[in-house]
Amino acid sequence: MNYHLAQVNVARMKGVSINDPEMKDFRDHTDEVNTLAEQSKGFVWRDVFDENATPQPNALADEQVLINFSIWEDVESLRTYTYTTFHTAIMKRQKEWFQKYGEAHYALWWIEAGTTPTEKEAIERLEYLQKNGTSAHAFTFKEVFEKPV
């Protein structure tokens, strides 16, 4: 069986919504950062916000929380995108736009290739990590668990 890496990360905005003036600079770079992810080696899929769809509450039912959810071929591809591209420069500025979000703000886990977890499942993985620490169920770059065999 083949596996891919799922990742979720959450951030609580300082603004009430993404359209607040204090979020403008972040908003202005979002397309560039997302395009870079999509063009990166190992990228498989990302949850795309549909501006024309009826707004739906996110899995946390909190409009101040942004949820980023994607799938990658492996840990190294995601790590390279996260820490060695323009994404890094933007994330160095995260304190300008975001409040601290608990002990863990992201989680990684393995999924069967060709499947896509729901946003609710992704948040459940993050909450598991926050409560229980790293395990094969949900982990971080600091303690990576190998693909299932």
Give the per-residue SS3 of 63-105: CCEEEEEEEECCHHHHHHHHHHCHHHHHHCCHHHHEECCCCCC
If one compares 37 and 53, the residue with the highest pLDDT of the two is 37
Tell whether 27 is covered by a domain: yes
Give residue for tokens 């202005």: 28
Rounded mean pLDDT of 46-58? 59
Q: Is 125 helix (H, G, I), strand (E, B) or coil?
A: helix
User: What CATH number does the domain containing 35 carry?
Assistant: 3.30.70.100
* pLDDT surpasses 60 at 39: yes
Model pTM? 0.90
Q: Which two tokens stand for residue 107?
A: 């989680």
User: In degrees rounded to 5, what are phi and psi of residue 13?
Assistant: -70, 150
* pLDDT surpasses 70 at 52: no
Domain that holds residue 77: 3-132
Tell whether 55 is covered by a domain: yes
Q: Per residue in 53-96, pLDDT tens? A: 444 456 555 788 889 999 999 999 999 999 999 999 998 999 99
Tell whether 115 is covered by a domain: yes
User: In degrees rounded to 5, what are phi and psi of residue 51?
Assistant: -65, -20
Q: Which two tokens stand for residue 89?
A: 């420069």
Q: Per residue in 2-20, pLDDT tens? A: 999 999 999 999 988 888 9
Tell whether 145 is covered by a domain: no
Tell whether 146 is covered by a domain: no
Please give the tally of structural domains in the chain.
1
